[in-house]
Amino acid sequence: MTSHKEVKCVIWDLDNTVWDGVLLESDSVTLKPGIKEMISMLDKRGILHSIASKNDHVAAMEKLTHLGLEDYFLYPQINWNTKSHSVAEIQKSLNIGMDSLVFIDDQEFEMDEVKHVHPDIRCFNASEYQSLLDMPCFNPKFITEDSALRRKMYQDDVKRKIAESEYIGPGEDFLASLNMKFTIYPAKESDLQRAEELTIRTNQLNATGKTYNYDELNAYRLDARHKMLVCELEDKYGSYGKIGLALVSTEQTEWKIKMMLVSCRVVSRGVGTVLLNYIIKEAKKANKILLADFKDTGRNRMMYVNLRFAGFKELSRNEEGECVLMHDQAQTQDYPPYINIHIHG
């Protein structure tokens, strides 16, 4: 396996993978040597974990609880479905790209079945588990405050989804009940590691698909001709962390959004356009023409739709899918009424 793309989630089989033995044949299965420490270390690096196992759900979860591992696994799929179906359910629940997932199993035919249905996923045989920690794809460049808390953020989101499924009434009333606070502020040096991580990890809501390293971001942050904005979101269940980033060049007669991205985790909260609308309002206040760069990456169609819906019209497009859009400043939108907006700096 040669891909160095960072792993966002590891999906584990259980029998003869996380533990030695087959649970339905003997309750005395034992953890593979060092596996608990490995799962904990990957978790601290911001890499999530889930399960795709053909097993009895109740028995497997009881064993994981007994072994002190239950809390690590998000959206575990323990059933008798195909592994490819279980992987698809996990991917859908986490809302991340299939090429960000790794599947680990002790049986080659299970890996082949998953790979056949999901060619973008990376598969490893369970016999390789001890070498995972040293592989580049399991070693993010930075371990930020947000990455170390990533599992908790997803667990908080599970609570939100349960509350939403049980809520009776209009969707906007539920969103209002979350007491969301959306904060926008100029990027500080302490934000740059997370900012770089966002450019690397965000695909569906990244306007250009570009990635920026720490030094590039810091140079823009210190350049008086640019505004670099960070946004955070929290609600009554907890913090989503830093979920958005924008880079705006501010020339004498026009502003241009050179880069903008929002984490896919907040799409269902209806906050994807708040940062964009803030920039539109600020450009209009400054009496500047507002342009935006966009490049079609094949995965960020949603961001293009957001730009067009916000009042941007395409000015030019080249064969590589790169285009420039301009905002019709006659059209501005109010912020969603169920979100409390806080502007700092």
Percent of all residues in the chain with a pLDDT value above 70, rounded to a whole number: 99
Q: Domains of the chain, with CATH numbers?
A: 9-138 (3.40.50.1000), 145-343 (3.40.630.30)
Report which residue type is found at 247: L
pLDDT at 3: 57
Q: Tell me the per-residue pLDDT of 177-188, one tens digit each, with 9 for 90 and over.
A: 999 999 999 999
**φ/ψ of residue 324, rounded to 5:** -115, 135
Instruction: Give the tokens for residue 130.
Output: 């001890």
Give the tokens for residue 276: 């964009």
What whole-number distance in Å separates Cα of residue 177 and Cα of residue 282? 29
Q: Which residue has the tokens 């670099």?
A: 228
Q: In whole angstroms, give the CA distance from residue 127 to residue 341.
A: 50
At 18, is the pLDDT very low, low, confident or very high (cuts 50, 70, 90)?
Answer: very high
Question: CA 89 to CA 187: how far, in whole Å?
Answer: 36
Over range 280-296, report the average pLDDT.
Answer: 94
Share of the chain above pLDDT 90, in %: 70
Residues 6+ apart with CB under 8 A from 338: 172, 175, 176, 178, 180, 270
Strand partners, 12: 51, 104
Mean pLDDT, range 234-242, rounded to an integer: 92
Q: What is the pLDDT of residues 83-135, one digit of tens each?
A: 999 999 999 999 888 999 999 999 999 999 999 999 999 999 999 999 999 99
Tokens representing residue 244 in the block: 């958005």
Alpha-carbon distances of 293 from 228, 274, 299, rounded to whole Å = 15, 18, 16
* Mean pLDDT value across the chain: 91
> Is the entire prediction scored with pTM above 0.95?
no
